[in-house]
A = this chain, B = another copy of it.
Amino acid sequence: MPDLRFINAHHSPLGAFASFTLGYPGASGGFDLERGQPPKEPVFVMLESANAAGSFDALPFCDAMSQDEAARFSTAHDDLNRIGASVSINVFPDEAIRREFGIARDSWRAGDLRFTVLTPALSAPDPDVADEAALKAAFVPAVYVEIEVDNSNHERARRVAFGYAGSDPYRAMCHMKTPELVGVGQGREVAILTDAPGAWSGIGFHPGLILGDALVENRGWALGQCGLLVAEVAPRAVTRLRYAIGFHRAGIVTSGIDASYLYTRWFDSAVSAARFALDRFDEAAADAADAEANLRASALSEEQRFMLAHATRAYLGSTQLLQRDGRPLWVVNEGEYRMINTFDLTVDHLFHELAHHPWAVRNVLDLYRDHYSYRDRTRLPGDSTEYDGGIAFTHDMGVANVFSARGHSCYERSGLSGCFSQMTHEQLTNWVLCAGAYVEQTDDEVWLRDNAGTLFDCLQSMILRDHPDAEQRDGVMHADSSRCSGGAEITTYDSLDTSLGQARANTYLAGKCWASYLALERLLTRLGRSDAAAQAALQARRCAETLVAAVQPDGTLPAVLEPGTPGFASRIIPAIEGLVYPWFCGRRDACNPDGPYGAYVKALRTHLDAVLKEGVCLFADGGWKLSASSDNSWLSKIYLAQFVARKILGMPASRTARSDRAHAAWLVDPRNAFWSWSDQIEAGYAIGSKYYPRGVTASLWLKEATD
């Protein structure tokens, strides 16, 4: 198990697009509200020495703050320098630090200090129907902190300081007070509140100016970017101090579609959120303990538990529950890229969301249907003739709180064949697959009936994208969207080579087409549209047959079914990806090697066995390499493929244990660990999709023992 002590991780409420990011050494974490990256703020968690007043030991999340701030006012600061010099801050050495890293509880211990962040909000009731009290507790934009000081062996009271230097460019640090509580934060947006008896807030250019000044009347000073809450713990005792950290953004926060945070129904500032959170601290702590117990009780290995917890945190920090005209609007932001509800991520978040808040899937599907669908025409490669197309869905809904225009993503361009090209067909399968899994898991019959027309349209659109000439249809995509303007559609694997990047005739996308036809067959059958269901079944059969027929003499499938191309020569693990969907769309029959698609399933199992070897789809460290022809491998998709391999294709868990160790090692690599959870790993180095929600595909692993 790799050393987890020095990785940044998200600590987030649900739906607030916020994170108290912490763990990487130096000024590397902080309070991320709508940023999509670690804010690089110094975070101060400090305990005064038992022996020397004014000497503080600190967790390693701060660095010496610049003195420039005072120098901007004047160069002569002898008095202030004297005050500052009376305080020394010593970062605990690495070897003194222990960390317990869980899914809802993250705890550092060093010396007599224990610092614990609790983030219990994993699930939430449907905001369209749940009562307000339950919603308020589920969506309070706050996280919880406990500081425990074991002063039982010491005779002196000692000071504890917790705070940070804010980096918001618009608002100053701010003393916060309620009748019973004291707090510090920045503007109205971030607040740390405590009910610790006798605690007080300080603001200054650096911590020494706050902690070193004996004059109580200077505690109201408010210049400088550093804010601390200071409390004192008694001698000969173990003391626990509680804090709540509130995040808040008021008013309309988006454009394109005007929306505010749902939590503004109950909270008008970070202070009001943190106050509410402090009141329910015990409940939150119990919820966090339950979440940890559940995870520990799973059959997962230590590495798996780590990756699941880490990825889930990053997902939570990317979630954003808005409201538009009073109705909920669910958003998952795409990590560092901040694209809104990127659809090819939605389909990966699907499994976690169905387990924890299935209404979010419905919410996204509805907005795609109503606002981000379009109708196009199609073209065949090298031919400018346009053929009938059909309904399709955009890649995303915009970026960084800016919703894009109706029927358009922020991402897709015309005239390209690589990154930023159209993702038409893949997003079409994503709407179908999310719908199929949502209906299967929730039995939401009303929604199914409301969407009968769209589902039928999706089927027709998929068929037309197979081939304009009905005679030549083989279940696999051959026609690109007219929106490509002569370019070619891509898949979600936009930064890989054509082995996974090209949509047309791609074995990966073909697997998702097959799964989509199966899902449509089931949904249309439920809707009593047996003719359409039969059309879907025919397409599914054609697709499976095409793929089985493409198996090469060595038992592998080409990445792209276009002989003579580089993609044809390559091999990809995600050939098996499509198998996950029938499993969740009520079509486990199709996943059975002895079932109706047994030949296809067996072919995939053979393929996987054949490619999972070093030099093909394994790195030297045992990590999975999604494409034989690219070193860029994506952990989110590896996690998903591992579920398929073990749960559906029957690969023994022992065969993935070494890879899990490799994958965990990638995440804690000091080159990568600043970025919390990252997806695109090129030979061990995170090159993109950092600070990213997608790894929540790991939640599939919890289904392996139970489903």
**Residue ranges of A at the interface with B (Cβ–Cβ < 8 Å):** 33-35, 72-80, 169-176, 187-188, 213, 215, 217-218, 220-223, 250-252, 255-256, 268-269, 336-338, 398-402, 404-405, 408, 410-420, 483, 485, 487, 494-495, 687-688
Contact call B418/A74, Cβ cutoff below 8 A: yes
Shortest distance in angstroms between A152's beta carbon and chain B's nearest beta carbon?
36
23 pairs across A/B with beta carbons < 8 Å?
A35-B169, A73-B419, A73-B420, A74-B419, A74-B495, A75-B495, A76-B419, A79-B415, A79-B487, A80-B416, A170-B400, A171-B402, A172-B338, A172-B402, A187-B402, A188-B252, A215-B413, A215-B414, A218-B414, A218-B415, A221-B410, A221-B413, A222-B399
Query: How many angstroms from the CA of A411 to the CA of B221 in the assembled complex?
Result: 6
Beyond A74-B418, A174-B402, A223-B420, 7 additional pairs, beta carbon < 8 A = A72-B337, A74-B494, A170-B401, A175-B405, A215-B414, A220-B408, A250-B251
Return chain B residues, CB-CB under 8 Å to A405. 175, 220
Return chain B residues, CB-CB under 8 Å to A688. 72-74
Query: How many angstroms from the CA of A52 to the CA of B35 in the assembled complex?
Result: 41
Query: How many angstroms from the CA of A343 to the CA of B531 in the assembled complex?
Result: 80
Shortest distance in angstroms between A680's beta carbon and chain B's nearest beta carbon?
9
Contact call B495/A172, Cβ cutoff below 8 A: no
Query: How many angstroms from the CA of A647 to the CA of B398 in the assembled complex?
Result: 61
When A172-B398, A269-B255 are in contact, do A404 and B220 touch as well, CB less than 8 Å? yes
When A223-B399, A269-B255, A338-B172 are in contact, do A215 and B419 touch as well, CB less than 8 Å? no
Return chain B residues, CB-CB under 8 Å to A34. 170
Nearest first, the 10 closest Cβ-Cβ pairs linking A and B are: A172-B400, A251-B251, A74-B495, A222-B410, A74-B419, A172-B402, A174-B402, A172-B399, A250-B251, A34-B170
When A73-B688, A169-B35, A218-B415 are in contact, do A174 and B256 touch as well, CB less than 8 Å? yes
Return chain B residues, CB-CB under 8 Å to A485. 215, 217
Shortest distance in angstroms between A94's beta carbon and chain B's nearest beta carbon?
31
Contact call A418/B78, Cβ cutoff below 8 A: yes
Return chain B residues, CB-CB under 8 Å to A33. 170
Contact call A418/B73, Cβ cutoff below 8 A: no
Out of B74, B250, B401, which one reaches A187, CB within 8 Å?
B401
Query: How many angstroms from the CA of A268 to the CA of B255 in the assembled complex?
Result: 11
Shortest distance in angstroms between A439's beta carbon and chain B's nearest beta carbon?
32
Query: How many angstroms from the CA of A80 to the CA of B417 in the assembled complex?
Result: 11
- Nearest residue, chain B, Cβ from A220: B408
Return chain B residues, CB-CB under 8 Å to A218. 413-415
- Nearest residue, chain B, Cβ from A415: B215
Shortest distance in angstroms between A414's beta carbon and chain B's nearest beta carbon?
5
- Nearest residue, chain B, Cβ from A185: B255
Query: How many angstroms from the CA of A399 to the CA of B227 in the assembled complex?
Result: 14
Contact call B402/A222, Cβ cutoff below 8 A: yes
From A408, A413, A485, residue with most partner B Cβ within 10 Å: A413
